[in-house]
A and B are shown apart, each in its own frame.
Chain A
Amino acid sequence: MKVLVANGYLIDPSQGLNSGKDLLIEDGRIAGVLDRGEPPPKDAEFFDATGLMVAPGLIDLHVHLREPGQEYKETIATGSAAAVAGGWASVCAMPNTDPVNDSPAVTRFIVEEGERAQLANVFPVGALTKGSAGKELAEMGEMKQAGIVAVSDDGKSVPSAGMMRRAMEYARGFDLTVVDHCQDSSLSAGGVMHEGRWSLILGLRGIPASAEEVDAIRDCVLAKQTGGRVHLAHVSTRGAIEAVRRAKEAGLRVTCEVAPHHWTLTDEAVEQYDTNTKMNPPLRSRDHLDAMLDGLEDGTIDAIATDHAPHHADEKALEFDQAPFGITGLETAVGLAFDLVHQGVISLERLVELCSTNPARVFSLENRGTLRKDAWADITILDPEFEWTFDVSRSKSKSRNTPFDGRSFKGAAVATIVAGRVVYLHPDFERIVASKQSKAASG
């Protein structure tokens, strides 16, 4: 089966592509890039993307799908539905499920449930240590054969430098990236928000920036020693971003991701004790946010990842100290990334690089994050101008824990294609394209 994605504007940093061209899909793969007016095969179906940006499918390196074990928060099916509605063709599922994904059996279950949902590609991340208890290495090789794309004990930091060293040395043999949630628990223990002026005002126990920074620096030192690949998850502090910048200058295999809420909100947002402002790492102060914008602009930051962390409304209705960390993010991330484009922090190409090209590279996802011939036909179609308001009651996720309900956005993913199949089409897609067509005709 052939489909021509026509009249769009192809943005693919993997091949320096940024121009008005058509894209031919055949049997779930990219069959080629056609110049405008170049005749397509006669049997090709026509997908009109007039005036829209056609990008390689977005890849979220960091989501919590909660299945197995916490299906009341999210399932692989509902999480995948939220993913594609937010423009993500692929999601990497963190292993802190119940049971923890530390064995090939759990890995296979996640892969199969992902396939059964037939929405986004679901790539499991395996636990780094058994039960993510930080004591013994998990069976990374076995899990890799079953389908994991990286290893992590996300939710907590790898507890000791010694364990981190072993993990990096061992993971090298399987070409697996070690993902670390940098947070020295002896500094962060009991903390529920960023430590600073606002934690003092609110009387809440703080998580100092140093908790993330000392582990980030530790990991960079170990990357040098071991030559291993380390990816720092959801970095939130100036010091961690600076550590990655220096590591890159020194040629180390260190990468990092940031989450949209961290460049959008500061710790001041906690003022009313809204538990939808409680996440880990916490919302930081303005100075850290500024450092993040610099890192997004200058290339230090490799990827945008949502850290989508669904929780049931009853859990989030507890006292601030008691409520679990985390917010949903799959459906708002692209909108928040477009804020950066409209504010002039990043270009459209850089947005695609952060959400697709680089994530594929960081976890070595072959034939993803690119529109090259023979790559998987994972495609996200973006409209940078589309204005919309997020209504959490219409979210595809099973959970509702977001601080962005009612927020207005400019820019959205309007269609998501996975292996050549349209898995998400914005309800207003036809109207959007029609208005672009009439604009093109009158322009």
Chain B
Amino acid sequence: MQTAFQRKHLLGIRELSAGEITHLLDTAETFRDVSRREIKKVPALRGRTVINLFFESSTRTRTSFEIAAKRLSADAVNISVSTSSISKGETLLDTARNLEAMAPDCIVVRHSMAGAPAHLARMCNAPIVNAGDGSHEHPTQALLDALTIREHKGRIEGLKVAIIGDILHSRVARSNIHLLTKLGARVSVAGPGTLVPDDFVELVEQGLRVEPSIEDAIEAADVVMILRIQRERQDAAFFPSMREYAVHYGLRAAHLERAAPEAIVMHPGPINRGIEISSEIADGSRSLILDQVTNGVAVRMAVLYLLAGGNPVQDEASV
């Protein structure tokens, strides 16, 4: 049964049903073709305004949202932290209210603090898309990962997915864990003990496995997701050195021999070559890193289309 997507905001994957996720993925699939045409534009959001409000630096995600908006014929405006009023002491709320006074049809928010998009959604009228909030969620990343897996494996249900690295600080890991378990995949996580707390087994009702080593997690995996070591978040020392991390937790070709025969490798980017992933793998035939980027545009087109007015159902009560 197909469930339409009737939410006002996209704040995370945790609150979505499997039906809603599937609907988002199916919609994204229909938009994938647009990017393959010579004229990469449809009029779906003509006359609509999308604001990309980025309080944290990002090239990939911001560009992806911008391209997605433009391919839907929306007017996209980018505001980044360096040019925003925040540096003048304005609060998040005041910034958002001022932007809202200019009647945007959707505000895409990236913020270094968990819950900031939820905070805006509560206080503003415009639809809010979470483009990554602190260590909380990054829903469009999980959707584009799922779209990539579906493209190559034909399904998500029943797959074994290993997620390796800094799970504690990763919004990508959280959104992926929610999405993959909702769609019936089995998820294992592994990384240094300081970055993979045992409490993670309780993160989702379906449960997930916290494995003692990267080798255990990868055993028979159909999908291996490598997380970026976020040097900017390493304000406290969670491991002794990048060198030691690379030796013990970096993905190398030998690891993949334990995985399922047709296993695929993914990474949300940008990659630290030679640290969490060897170049040999990143550039190898199993790597789908660039497919992920391509699918990112399709997923964001679907999200903007469904939230910014392409879908006329905007019932406040259904939020």
- By a beta-carbon cutoff of 8 Å, the part of chain A in contact with chain B is 189-190, 195-197, 200-205, 272-273, 314, 317-322
| B311, chain A: closest CB distance, angstroms | 25
A203's partner among B93, B114, B200 (CB-CB below 8 A) is: B114
Could you tell me if B137 and A203 are in contact, using CB atoms closer than 8 angstroms? yes
A177 to B86 alpha-carbon distance, docked (Å): 45
Could you tell me if A317 and B114 are in contact, using CB atoms closer than 8 angstroms? no
Of chain B, the residue at the smallest CB distance from A320 is: B115
A189 to B235 alpha-carbon distance, docked (Å): 11
Could you tell me if A273 and B114 are in contact, using CB atoms closer than 8 angstroms? yes
B119's partner among A200, A204, A314, A319 (CB-CB below 8 A) is: A319
Could you tell me if B116 and A319 are in contact, using CB atoms closer than 8 angstroms? yes
Could you tell me if A320 and B119 are in contact, using CB atoms closer than 8 angstroms? yes
Contact A201 B119, CB 8 Å, known A319-B92, A320-B113: no
Could you jot down 20 A-B contacts, CB within 8 Å? A190-B236, A195-B199, A197-B203, A201-B14, A201-B174, A202-B136, A203-B136, A203-B174, A204-B115, A204-B136, A272-B122, A273-B114, A314-B91, A317-B91, A317-B123, A318-B91, A319-B119, A321-B113, A321-B115, A321-B134
B114's partner among A202, A272, A314 (CB-CB below 8 A) is: A202
Could you tell me if A319 and B197 are in contact, using CB atoms closer than 8 angstroms? no
Chain B residues with CB under 8 Å of A201's CB are: 14, 174, 203
| B222, chain A: closest CB distance, angstroms | 25
A200 to B174 alpha-carbon distance, docked (Å): 9
User: Interface code B172-207, partner A: CB below 8 Å = 1, 0 otherwise?
Assistant: 001000000000000000000000010110110000
Chain B residues with CB under 8 Å of A195's CB are: 199
A320's partner among B91, B114, B197 (CB-CB below 8 A) is: B114
A318 to B116 alpha-carbon distance, docked (Å): 9
Q: Counting CB contacts under 8 A, is B99 at the interface?
A: no
SS class, residues of chain A in contact with chain B: loop
Of chain B, the residue at the smallest CB distance from A192 is: B114
User: Interface code B191-229, partner A: CB below 8 Å = 1, 0 otherwise?
Assistant: 000000101101100000000000000000000000000
Q: Counting CB contacts under 8 A, is B44 at the interface?
A: no
| A405, chain B: closest CB distance, angstroms | 15
Could you tell me if A200 and B118 are in contact, using CB atoms closer than 8 angstroms? no
A318's partner among B14, B92, B134 (CB-CB below 8 A) is: B92
A205 to B114 alpha-carbon distance, docked (Å): 9
Chain B residues with CB under 8 Å of A190's CB are: 236
Among A197, A202, A204, A272, the most chain B Cβ lie within 10 Å of the Cβ of: A202
Chain A residues with CB under 8 Å of B92's CB are: 318-319
Chain B residues with CB under 8 Å of A314's CB are: 91
Chain A residues with CB under 8 Å of B171's CB are: 203
| B85, chain A: closest CB distance, angstroms | 15
Could you tell me if A197 and B133 are in contact, using CB atoms closer than 8 angstroms? no
Chain B residues with CB under 8 Å of A318's CB are: 91-93
Could you tell me if B134 and A203 are in contact, using CB atoms closer than 8 angstroms? yes
Could you tell me if B174 and A197 are in contact, using CB atoms closer than 8 angstroms? no
B113's partner among A272, A317, A322 (CB-CB below 8 A) is: A322
Could you tell me if A200 and B114 are in contact, using CB atoms closer than 8 angstroms? no
Chain B residues with CB under 8 Å of A321's CB are: 113-115, 134
A201 to B199 alpha-carbon distance, docked (Å): 10
A195 to B197 alpha-carbon distance, docked (Å): 10
Given contacts A201-B14, A317-B123, 18 further A-B contacts (CB under 8 A): A189-B236, A197-B199, A197-B202, A200-B202, A200-B203, A203-B114, A203-B133, A203-B135, A203-B136, A203-B174, A205-B135, A272-B118, A273-B118, A317-B91, A318-B92, A319-B113, A320-B113, A321-B113
Q: Which 7 A-B pairs have the closest CB atoms?
A: A203-B136, A273-B115, A203-B135, A203-B114, A321-B113, A319-B113, A197-B202
Q: Counting CB contacts under 8 A, is B70 at the interface?
A: no
Chain A residues with CB under 8 Å of B203's CB are: 197, 200-201
Q: Counting CB contacts under 8 A, is B111 at the interface?
A: yes
Chain A residues with CB under 8 Å of B123's CB are: 317
Q: Which of B74-103 contact A (CB under 8 A)?
A: 91-93
Could you tell me if A204 and B114 are in contact, using CB atoms closer than 8 angstroms? yes
Chain B residues with CB under 8 Å of A320's CB are: 113-115, 119
Of chain B, the residue at the smallest CB distance from A315 is: B91
Of chain A, the residue at the smallest CB distance from B203 is: A200
Of chain A, the residue at the smallest CB distance from B200 is: A200
Could you tell me if B197 and A200 are in contact, using CB atoms closer than 8 angstroms? yes
A205 to B168 alpha-carbon distance, docked (Å): 9
Chain B residues with CB under 8 Å of A204's CB are: 114-115, 134-136
A189 to B236 alpha-carbon distance, docked (Å): 10
Could you tell me if A273 and B199 are in contact, using CB atoms closer than 8 angstroms? no
| A359, chain B: closest CB distance, angstroms | 36
Among B91, B114, B134, B135, the most chain A Cβ lie within 10 Å of the Cβ of: B114
Chain A residues with CB under 8 Å of B197's CB are: 200
Q: Which of B120-145 contact A (CB under 8 A)?
A: 122-123, 133-137
A317 to B115 alpha-carbon distance, docked (Å): 12
A288 to B118 alpha-carbon distance, docked (Å): 28
A200 to B202 alpha-carbon distance, docked (Å): 9
A197 to B130 alpha-carbon distance, docked (Å): 22
A52 to B134 alpha-carbon distance, docked (Å): 52
Of chain B, the residue at the smallest CB distance from A273 is: B115
Of chain B, the residue at the smallest CB distance from A196 is: B199
Chain B residues with CB under 8 Å of A317's CB are: 91, 93, 123
A190 to B137 alpha-carbon distance, docked (Å): 19
| B174, chain A: closest CB distance, angstroms | 6
Contact A200 B199, CB 8 Å, known A317-B93, A318-B91: yes
